[in-house]
Each structure stands twice: as C-alpha cells, then as structure tokens.
Structure 1
Amino acid sequence: MQRPTAVSHSDSESATTIHQPSVLTPLDPDTPALAFSRRGPLKWTDYLGCYLPSYDGLHDVGTLTLELPLSEPYSTYELSSPMKRHDGKPILELHPTLMTIFYPASKRPTEPLWRQALSMSNLMGREPRLQWITLAQIQGYLRFASITSWKRWFLIPPLLLAMGSTKLPTRGGAPICLTKHHRKEDEEKRRRYKLVIFSHGLTGNRTCYSQLCGRLAAQGYVVAAVEHRDGTSSHSLATARTGGKTVGKEVEYVDMVDVSADTRPDNYLIARAFQLELRTIELLAAAKSLASLANANPGWKAIRDANLRVRGAPGWAGDDGANWSDQQWDDFAGAITAARHPDRPQGWKRFILYDPWLETLEHCSEKFLGSLTKTSKGPIIPSDFPCLIINAPGFTVWKEHFKKLQDYFIIDRKDNSNQNCLLVVLGGAIHSSFSDLPVLVEWLWKKTKNLQLDSQKAIKIVTDLTIEFIEFRKSQNPTACNEDVGHDELEAEKFGGGKNRLESFLDLYKPDPNYVHGTNHLHESSLESFQPGKLLVHYKRLF
C-alpha cells in the first residue's frame, strides 16, 4: 500500500486516490450468474479436522496481528459502568487494542508435492498460519451456552479433536501485494487499498469471521478485525508489559451471574449498553492506530515498536484515511455509536451491518450519550451514515426488532438524510451465516439451525454485495479528473438503461416472484417464504 500524502484520517483535504475497478466478474444483463462451485482446503492436511476453505480472489491472503496500547484520550477514558465482580474488581476495564489484519498478498505459485511435504515439517521456513480457535475460546462458547462445568469436560475432547487443528487459509506475515511493475522500495507507486474495520458480534473474536474478512482481502481490501475486550468475546488474552516483562491477562465472556448483586443492573440490556461504550472506545482507538500508518512520521516503525505481539511484521504502510470504509458485523451497534462520536474519522465512507442487534441503543448511560455528537433527544442514527444492512430471515420476521430497524434507519432519517441506505434480506441464511461456524459444520447447522443456503455461497453473496456497495458511485462530477471517474458510469453505458453495478447485482439475485415453499406464505410471516440464495430488497435509497 502506498504511503499517502494526507497527514491523518481527520484531514479535511485528502490526497487524490485512484478508484480501482471492481475486482468482481463484469456484470452482463444477458448472461446468467456463474454456477456456484465449492472450494476445498488450502492444504490436504486440513482434511484431518474441520477445515476452512481457501479463498477465491486475485490474491493470497496475509495476516498480521497487532496489539497496541491505547493512546490518548482513550487510555484515560472513564467508563460509565458501575458493575463489579463478586471480589470487588470492575467487570469492564480498558485493555490494549487487539486486531488481526487480513491483507492481499501476491499469489504463490503451485509447488510440487515434495516441497509441500517439506513445508509440513517447517523445514522451508514458511509463513505461519493462524489457529482458528483455542481451548479457552471453546470453554467460553460452552459457558455462553449455559453448559455446566461437568458436562463441558465431555464435550471439550471431541471439539478439540474436530477444531483444535483448524487453521486459517492465510500466510502469516507475507509481504503485501504491490503493483507488478514497481520495486518494493518505490513507496510512491505502491498499490492503494481501502481499509475495512470489522467488529465482531456476541461471543465472536478476530478469527471467527475469517471467511468473510479473508475473502474481502483476497479481492483487494485490507480488513482489520478487532477483538473486543468488553466481555462479549468468547475469550481474549490481553497482553501488558510490566517491569520489563510481558504478562497476559484473561478477559472472559461476561455473564450476568458474574456481576455482584449490588452492582447488577435490573435489565441485562443496560449491562450490554455499558459494554457498547467500551466497544466504541476500542473501535475509535483501533481507527486512530491504523490512521497513524498513513503518516510518514512516526508511521509503521512506531506501530511495530509498540506492538505487544511481535509475530509477523511485513513492511507495509497504511492507506489514505480519506478512502477508508468501515464495515461492522455488530451485535451491539458499535458502528452507530462510533459514527456519533466527535472522534469519528472523517474518512469513514460506508457502514455495513450484518444482522444488527439494536436493542442496546436505548439503554446507554447519560454520561456516554453526553459524549456523543447526537443527544438522546435527536435521531439515534446520525444523518451522515451511508449504510448497507444485510439481514437474515430470522431477524426479519422478528417483528419488534424489524420495526425498530425500520424506525432507526428509514423513518427517522427520511426527511433529513440524503445518505445511501440499502436494506436487503438474504434468503436461506441464519444469524450465524456471516461467521465461519456454518462453513465448518454445515451438516450440523442444516439439521439443527434450519440452514437452507450453502454456507460458502452465503459468504460469496455477502462479500460481493459488500464490495459493490463500497465501490458504489451513482453520480460523478463531470469535471472531475479521470482518476475519480467511477466504474459504475462505464457499466451504465453498457446497460443502456442507466443501471449501475450495484443495482445490476441486485437484479441478478432478485427472488423469483413465483417462488413457493410448501404453502404460499407472506414474506413478513414465514422464514420459508424467503427464497434461498436470493436478495429481497426491503428498502433502497441510492444517491
């Protein structure tokens, strides 16, 4: 990635950036979508357990894990939460920001079997692959599922056998992909990549959405997957340096039983709102750390020296903050509160929410709301919030929740917002379809979770739609320079009818109006009424 000329992510004037053409297959209105084909593992050894399939895209995917101390003003931020554990220690604390960055790496040529065999024993010094799950995280998931301690010991061995060896199909610390015709030292002619900041949902972590994050990286994006230390992760290990030594502190999933009776809120949503406050601080701190990569001084060297996790450190610089896109799969609406904060980076151009859970927004403390740019009296969603919302049918037929979604994003912003807003429902998906779990145990999810859509196909549709929304430019200033001419205008001429790529993509996945599953149900009342693998557009406002 090129080191940009913009001083920081908050600069009002940004460097001119070339909008890369869409990396997706060109859309042809007369040609049906290509038949879907499943992908296999990165190596044959992955077949020994549950495996994550390799990514399809122009690039291999590299990973880099950063754990960075909180900078000012976040390191001294006072949380509103009064919740304490039974021993008197606070439930929520500030910790260093932890994230894994997925980025495009150059394709590695196919190797002979003998070389692959040598790499199995690490004789060739290959890039290490990230482990998908740890024993502590498995225990966290079982605890979240309210499985008692003695039952966990019966479940942990088979789960470890099935998933303990699962690794991401990535290359740890691999050099980032540069332009083909320039040397690595040519800083001014490096490729520029848009940055996506990813926030996990309940019991998630920085690796459990690796199929989604990795596929975006394979298509040419840099994705920073943040692991939250707000008690919503299944388990996280916070690192600190004390007296010249590196020590770790476990941050476990927080249940209401962990909170002492005298500090426990009457409504668990209030506790979740306290967690949302901490999550917002973590997102803003992560954005600030990543934005420092855009500065020539201190830049990458300062990040490398501050990194508490030293494994893997390719020489790459940050993208121009003015072209960052912010993507959230966010159970606690961290994207919304971060967008309302005065420290919101000006370069955040898009917000993508996957099956968002919004119930916590009404329970935030007055202290936290007072720190935001919008008060509790105004709209909860800021007017400058261009967003794509991809819902699974389950959250769509949940009437109380879906009404709240409509009120926040559509009705409350109808008269005072000219921001893009697209709300679609992916038929056949479930709430966890955005994560890796259905990919790993699809047979189990189809039997127990009513999963009707192939897990790999769901990831493909979601990432393709995400890319189309990020790259969407419906109108351009005709006097703009050639570098800023959007790819959509060229596609509009091809289609003749003025449709852009985003609208054409939605047409490709438009439900069959004659689709019937069993009996003829209405879309608002039945999960089965949503056609698997199709996108039902509930609301579209594109400028």
Structure 2
Amino acid sequence: MISPGVLRPRWTIRYVLSAVALSYFAICLLFDMPFFSSPLPQYTGEYNVGTIDIEVPVEKRNLSSAVFKDTGKPAFELETVLFSLFYPATKDAQSSKPNHLWFPKPIALQAEGYARLAGINNFFTNSLFTVGLWTLAGSTSIPAEPDVLMHGTVKTYQNYEAEHPIDDYGLPEFPVIVFSHGFASSRTDYSQYCGELASRGYVVAAIEHRDGSGPGSVVKRSDGSSTNRFLINANELDPTPATPELKVWQLAFRQAEIEETVRVLRQINDGIGNDLFNVNTRKEGKDLAEWRGRLNFERVVIGGHSYGATGAMQVLKGGHTYERPFVGAVILDPGKSSGPLNDDIRVPTLIIHSDSWSKKHSIFYGRPHFDVVRDIARKILDENKIFAWFVTSKGTTHPSVTDAPLIEPLLLSWTTGSTIDVKEGIYQYVKATVDLMEYLNDGHRRGILSEEVTHPEYDNDIRNEERKASMPKDIDKYWQIHVAPSTGCAFPGLCGVDHDHAARPPFK
C-alpha cells in the first residue's frame, strides 16, 4: 500500500527547490540546452544580420624559426586565414542552415586548449573540461543567419554586368571593421558586439588567430586534411623563447593574419567571390559574388580587445598602407601582458578601458598601465594632431565586451565584480564604436566623442556642478573621459570634413 505522504508530499522549501531544480535539468536535457546559461539575444539595430565563415589558403610562410619539440614541425606556419563575417542581411532573411554554434565543434578541442592553459592536460581532466564547457554554453548558438544575402543585393544575370557597370547599380556600400580577439579567446567570443555593429550597417570580419594564443582551432586545408592548433607554451618550442620573444612571434603572426584578411576582403570587393567560395573549406559564401563593390574601402577600421588590442595598435605602426588600409581604430582594454604598446598611431583612435582595467593599478614596463595608455592617446592628439579619445566604461570588467556575461550573467557578475547590466555593457561599447565610425564618415563628433575631459585620472572628476548638470545623463552614468580633443577644435582642419570623402552622403 502506497503511503499517503508519497501521494501528497509536504510542500516544504526543500521540496519546492528540489522540484524546480529537477524540472530545470529535465528541460535542459530534453531540449539539448546547456545548464545555467542564457541564450544570446537578438540584435537591436535596423538591419537583419547574416554571418559567413571563411577559411581560405594563403601563401604558406613561417613567421618564426621555432618548431615544436615533439614533432619538429613549424610552430608559426601560416597556411590559411579564418574569419567570420557579420554583415547587414536582406530583410527577413532566413537561412536553410543551422545557426553557428558559439563553441564550434568539436567542443573537446576547446576543452583541451583550456586544460593546457591550466597546465593539467590529460584524458581525465580534458573530459571534465569538455563536460564543463557543454554545461556552461555547449549548445548556445549565434543569432545571425548563416550564409544569407547581403542587404540590398540585386541578383545578377548573364551579361547584365557587362551592360550595367557596378557603379550604376546604386547599391549601398558598407564600412568595414576588422576585429582581433584576445588571449585564450576565439572569433566567436565577440559575436554580440560584432553582430550589433552589423545590425547598424557595418561589415565586421572577426579573425580567428592561430598564433598559439587561442584555446583551440582547426586549420582546414583545401585537400581535406586538417591540423589542430592549441595554446602554445614556450617550453614546447625549440628554441625555447623568453616570454617577450614569444609575444613578438605571436604578434607578427597576428599581423600577417590581419593583412591576409584584408587581402581576402579586397578580393571579395573586386568580384571574385565565386572563386573564394570554391576554395573556402568552411563551405559558406555561395553569394559572395554579389558582394562586388559593396565594401567601402575608404572606411576600413581596425579593432581589437586585450591581446587583440595590442595587435591592432601594432598594425597601425608606420601609417596607412595597401595591406593595412585602416583609417581609424577601436582599442578595447589594450593588453597588460602582451608586449609593449605601439604609440606610432596616425589615425583617429578611440581607446576604451573597462572599469576594472582602469581601476586596477598595474605596473607596465616600469610605469602604471593607465598612464601609458593615456599618454599614447595624448601623443596621437598633441603630437600627431589627430583626434584621439581615451575613456573608461563605468561598471564594466575585462570580459564585458565579450559574449560570456550574456551567456552566464550571474556567474560572470559574481566572479568579475561587474555592476553594469550585461546587455547595457555591450550596448555602450557598440554605441561608442558607432560614434567613431560616423565621425570618420562625416567629420562630426557625436555622443561621447563630443565631450571634453571629465576625469584626467581615473575617478578624479574635474567637472563643476554646472557641467555635471549639462552633460547628457547616459554619458555621465556610463563613462569617464580621460583624453579628448577640445570642443573648440584647437588644431587646424580637425573639425572640418575631409572633402575628398565627404562628398559621399552619410551612410544609411
């Protein structure tokens, strides 16, 4: 006989919590959802967003003489370049392909990379890492439509191009941002930031670096063969480099990947998208031929976060070149342990620190890191007579520009100390980036770029009560401004428009 107590359980707090937990886990298992995570939100701009993974061969070359001790194979051999394009898509675009996973398969590859980083690489710990990663975000997908038509695309027909030059199509051109990820990261880690920019009318190429700074990546070749790339420890290499030398090799590799990404984007814009599709080992980009003339190479900007910010600053050294056609830069939390920061920058530059990056006192080559970054911005502004800004995003932490706080908001807020709403944090980074892109388009300062210095040092507010009251509330709430041009435009020509480019109407 069944006890009445089993049929009618007591509704204790323990019973309710247990029932809720079991129900939650059952739903996650039923719908193949990772535990404890949140899905990435839809993008908020006016455009739908598409995404295309591109991996194509490049001229094979070594960026260092170092080889792996266990195999004798080159450690820094560049064979292919891999990046994800985020772009404005046609209205109501729906792909026949599944959305890209945030953790690309095989997830065990990423897990082994993180185990290597922790110094505990073996079958048992790798298995634990694999389960842990799936639990956190295993089936999370990126909310961009894979391999759909670009916004405004007009399908071309036989002989149509010969009779109607591309300039006659009247199709919009999209400015381009090339983005470099940080240490122990990959191209997918910034999908929300990149997708939000795409939803506002920009094409973003998010590079996957194979320089030994990412957890794990598969190099796929045209002949069907592949090689796994992991985080590289100096003691794996022959000759064994000191840490500074290793970072020089890695940054050189990153620069080569950035230049190759630009080369591929130029080929797409020149109309050979079909050829690229045929050699793309990721099997996407079937409509790349329709991208002819759609990328605005007068508005190409370099961006990066952490190690990627250090690399982005490096590629600006020496100024504008065909391989590095960058007319602006968005530098997010430039690295504290990724080598010296290049200060030879000759393009308008926006440097954004997270709150935690500015707040923590870190000695960087004998000086406080904050002071080094501030002085680089001042040099661009004062010596090179080019607009530059250095600001802090209040309430954010180092991961705030990544997708991680969106996927695990409670865990990341608890472990990092972030106090800003996770969606608001991404939005503020996106808004500031768009302010720079629009300034490069028409020469007008908007949003945070229209303000003067509020805090010459972190948390040292120099504003009087009148200025505090007059400042827009969203800027006052979310930003500290450490370096900025005077609103009086002290330098000749800086407030004016580049008339060679400004004849083109503001991008819509």
**TM band (smaller chain):** 0.7 to 0.9
Paired position in structure 1 for 2:317: 340
Q: Relative contact order (C-alpha < 8 Å, sep 6+): which is higher?
A: 1
**2:459 aligned partner, one-letter code:** H
Distance 1:56 1:522, change over 3 A: closer
User: Which of the residues 226, 246, 254 maps onto 1:248?
Assistant: 226
What do the CA deviations read for 1:469-491 (whole angstroms, capped 9, x no partner)? 11115xxxxxxxxxx8x384xxx
User: Which of the residues 305, 309, 334 maps onto 1:329?
Assistant: 305
Paired position in structure 2 for 1:103: 87
Distance 1:503 1:451 in 2: 21
What do the CA deviations read for 1:480-509 (whole angstroms, capped 9, x no partner)? xxxx8x384xxxxxxxxxxx42347769x9
Paired position in structure 2 for 1:198: 179
**2:248 aligned partner, one-letter code:** A
Asked whether the 8 Å contact 2:315–2:324 carries over to 1, the reply is: no
Asked whether the 8 Å contact 2:67–2:237 carries over to 1, the reply is: yes
Matches within 5 A, 1:43-62: 50=37, 51-62=39-50
Paired position in structure 2 for 1:523: 459
1:129 paired with 2:76, answer: no
Matched position secondary structure for 1:212 = helix
What do the CA deviations read for 1:407-463 (whole angstroms, capped 9, x no partner)? 33324x455301111110011111111111111111011221111111111110000
**2:314 aligned partner, one-letter code:** T
Distance 1:450 1:383 in 2: 33
Further displaced range: 402-411 or 214-223: 402-411
Distance 1:541 1:81, change over 3 A: farther
Asked whether the 8 Å contact 1:434–1:458 carries over to 2, the reply is: yes
Q: CA RMSD in A?
A: 3.2
Paired position in structure 2 for 1:258: 236
Further displaced range: 313-322 or 385-394: 313-322
Distance 1:533 1:248 in 2: 49
Q: Which runs of 5+ in 1 are unaligned?
A: 1-43, 110-123, 363-378, 474-483, 489-499, 512-520, 526-530
Paired position in structure 1 for 2:111: 138
Matches within 5 A, 1:218-367: 218-241=199-222, 245-260=223-238, 263-266=239-242, 268-296=243-271, 299-315=272-288, 316-317=290-291, 318-332=294-308, 333-340=310-317, 343-345=321-323, 347-357=325-335, 359-362=337-340
What do the CA deviations read for 1:4-27 (whole angstroms, capped 9, x no partner)? xxxxxxxxxxxxxxxxxxxxxxxx
Matches within 5 A, 1:455-474: 455-472=422-439
Paired position in structure 2 for 1:94: 78
**1:523 aligned partner, one-letter code:** D
Distance 1:175 1:287, change over 3 A: same
| TM-score normalized by the length of structure 2 | 0.74
Shift of 1:285: 1.0
Shift of 1:56: 0.8
Paired position in structure 1 for 2:397: 430
Matches within 5 A, 1:375-390: 380-390=342-352
1:536 paired with 2:503, answer: no
Matches within 5 A, 1:60-99: 60-71=48-59, 75-76=60-61, 78-82=62-66, 84-99=68-83
Distance 1:47 1:218, change over 3 A: farther
Distance 1:214 1:314, change over 3 A: same
User: Which of the residues 130, 150, 153 maps onto 1:156?
Assistant: 130
Asked whether the 8 Å contact 1:351–1:388 carries over to 2, the reply is: yes
Distance 1:403 1:232 in 2: 26
Distance 1:288 1:522 in 2: 40
Distance 1:91 1:326 in 2: 26
Distance 1:344 1:145 in 2: 40
Matched position secondary structure for 1:231 = coil
Asked whether the 8 Å contact 1:83–1:264 carries over to 2, the reply is: no
Distance 2:116 2:477 in 1: 33
Shift of 1:81: 4.6
Distance 1:468 1:127, change over 3 A: same
Q: Which has the larger radius of gyration?
A: 2
Distance 1:125 1:80, change over 3 A: closer
1:451 paired with 2:418, answer: yes
Asked whether the 8 Å contact 2:64–2:76 carries over to 1, the reply is: no
Shift of 1:383: 4.2
Number of aligned pairs? 419
Distance 1:391 1:249 in 2: 36
Asked whether the 8 Å contact 1:427–1:532 carries over to 2, the reply is: no
Residue identity (%)? 23
Paired position in structure 2 for 1:497: none
User: Which of the residues 111, 136, 140 maps onto 1:166?
Assistant: 140
**1:58 aligned partner, one-letter code:** E
**1:405 aligned partner, one-letter code:** V
Distance 1:95 1:129 in 2: 27
Paired position in structure 1 for 2:373: 405
**1:132 aligned partner, one-letter code:** W
User: Which of the residues 446, 449, 454 maps onto 1:501?
Assistant: 446
Further displaced range: 276-285 or 315-324: 315-324
Distance 1:417 1:265 in 2: 35
Matched position secondary structure for 1:321 = strand
Q: Which runs of 5+ in 2 are unaligned?
A: 1-29, 158-163, 363-367, 462-474, 487-493, 495-508
